[in-house]
Amino acid sequence: MPRILGVDIPNDKVVEVALTYLYGVGPATARKIVSEVGVKPGIRAKNLTDDELGRIAGLLDKVYVVEGQLRRQVAQNLQRLKKIGCYRGVRHGRNLPVRGQRTRTNARTRKGKKKTVAGKKSVKAMR
């Protein structure tokens, strides 16, 4: 298995697809990288030479922010939002939707498994 920036990329996939296994590299970026480095677009990852792997790793290191560095950057951005106490930071801190979605219903992915709260007696039930 070829290894780029500490990540094993799959052998049997085309280089463009295999590069998307790196955090921060999507399909468009992978196509750019392959064209800039001069690797044949249809070649499989297992058929890459050491020279080609080195050129890809060098380009990723020089030009793009990927893997650990990008993860750190994202985490620092979230920490900054929480620290300054802005709305987005508070929502991140409470594990609630950040971008204006409703929470009365739905939002289960963000809020987690439903927690049942003891039923309150309504005014109608007391009459």
Question: Which pTM value belongs to this model?
Answer: 0.76
Q: Inform me whether the pLDDT recorded for 107 exceeds 80.
A: yes
**DSSP conformational letter for 97:** -
6 Cβ partners below 8 Å, 6+ apart?
67, 68
| Domain C-terminal end among 63, 90, 115 | 63
**Is the predicted pLDDT of residue 125 greater than 80, yes or no?**
no
Same domain, 92 and 48: no
CATH of the domain at 50: 1.10.8.50
Domain total of the chain: 2
Range of the domain at 46: 3-63
pLDDT tens for each residue of 55-71: 999 999 999 999 889 99
Residue partners of 21: CB distance under 8 A and separation at least 6: 7, 9, 10
Domain final residue pick, 41, 63, 85: 63
